[in-house]
């Protein structure tokens, strides 16, 4: 998902209401709601696309915008695996097994009878596992089984607390032996699932969206030149000021974090300001010049320094 409006570093003149818009989708379900946050504080939710929320800009500054989508299934699987503990040291020749889930929302316990495994319907998704050397009393985690677990929990009728069954179909001839739950509950196979609870499907990521608001002053009409751009340790700002006035020059990164501040006494007319960037990470930055008369926001690209 992503925030589509406003854009990163967008400047708003004077107090006003800003509409925040986000795009969200879920490839294996649907989005039930999108929550919006400004500087970590919730400002509202929307249950239908296009997902929007309004925010009142009342004071000058930079704001971090975030959006969080919730899917209809109640959780997002981040990783899943089965961990076995080997009970012997047999097996040095690589061997393979194919892992399925049982396509049943609440499978029955395995029992010792013919076709009790082969008659169980497999999931569409499967994962292949190549087993190499098998040493005794070592934990061996399977590959990631997220696609299988997602298929299981998305079945009609599945609910929290239901059982899951996994079928291991060996294709190699060399045996691998692990502890069973019946012989050791502590050393038997363990299903380990990492998930994001509360139905959170995604949170806006990548470059943070920042917005700023400036006081209600007459917009600056003159040309402002910043060079060289891109630059490394310093750049120059050229502008014509309508008055003699102190100006504060703030350098922000793309997330709205203040990197450096410099004060400068403007003269009426032409000004050339040398701004030192200091050491830091490169990337998109914003330079903000402000006083009671002017408020100017410009983008500058800084190289790694």
Domains belonging to the chain, first-starting first, are 2-73+200-209 (2.60.40.10), 76-193 (2.60.310), 218-302 (2.60.40.10)
Asked which of 103-107, 200-204, 240-244 is least confident by mean pLDDT, the reply is 200-204
pLDDT band at 6 (very low <50, low <70, confident <90, very high): confident
Q: What percent of the chain is modeled with pLDDT above 90?
A: 26
User: In what side-by-side order are the strands of the sheet with 190-196?
Assistant: 139-141, 76-85, 190-196
pLDDT at 14: 58
Cis peptide before 50 (omega within 30 of 0): yes
Q: Report helix, strand or coil for 214.
A: strand
Considering the chain, what is the average pLDDT of its residues? 81
Q: Report the 10 Å Cβ neighbour count for 255.
A: 14
Cα dihedral 37, 42, 43, 48, rounded to 10, equals 80
CA angle 209, 25, 192 (to 5 degrees): 95
pLDDT at 208: 37
Q: What percent of the chain is modeled with pLDDT above 70?
A: 81
pLDDT at 222: 63
Q: Write down the pTM of the prediction.
A: 0.43
How many Å apart are CA 151 and CA 164, to the nearest integer? Answer: 11
How many Å apart are CA 189 and CA 174, to the nearest integer? Answer: 20
């Amino acid at each position: 998902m992503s925030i589509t409006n406003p854009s990163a570093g967008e400047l708003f003149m004077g107090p006003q209401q800003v509409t925040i818009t986000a795009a969200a989708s879920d490839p294996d379900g649907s989005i039930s709601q999108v929550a919006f946050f400004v500087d970590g504080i919730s400002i509202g939710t929307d249950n239908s696309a296009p997902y929007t929320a309004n925010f009142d800009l009342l004071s000058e500054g930079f704001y971090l915008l975030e959006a969080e989508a919730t899917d209809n299934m109640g959780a997002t699987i981040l990783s899943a695996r089965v961990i076995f503990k080997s009970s012997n040291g047999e097996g040095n020749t690589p061997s393979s097994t194919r892992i399925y889930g049982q396509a049943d929302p609440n499978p029955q316990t395995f029992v010792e009878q013919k076709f009790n495994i082969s008659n169980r319907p497999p999931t569409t998704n499967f994962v292949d596992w190549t087993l190499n050397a098998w040493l005794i009393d070592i934990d061996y985690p399977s590959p990631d089984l997220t696609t299988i677990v997602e298929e299981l929990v998305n079945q009609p009728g599945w609910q929290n607390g239901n059982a899951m069954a996994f079928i291991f179909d060996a294709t190699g001839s060399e045996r691998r032996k692990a502890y069973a739950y019946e012989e050791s509950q502590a050393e038997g196979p363990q299903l380990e699932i990492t998930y994001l609870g509360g139905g959170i499907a995604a949170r806006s990521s990548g470059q943070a969206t920042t917005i700023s608001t400036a006081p209600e002053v007459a917009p600056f009409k003159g040309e402002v030149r910043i060079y060289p751009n891109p630059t490394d340790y310093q750049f120059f700002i050229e502008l014509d000021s309508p008055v003699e006035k102190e100006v504060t020059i703030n350098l922000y990164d793309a997330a709205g974090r203040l990197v450096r501040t410099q004060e400068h006494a403007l003269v009426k007319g032409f000004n050339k300001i040398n701004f030192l960037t200091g050491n830091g990470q490169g990337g998109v930055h914003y330079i903000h010049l402000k006083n009671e008369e002017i408020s100017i926001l410009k983008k500058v690209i800084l190289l790694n320094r």
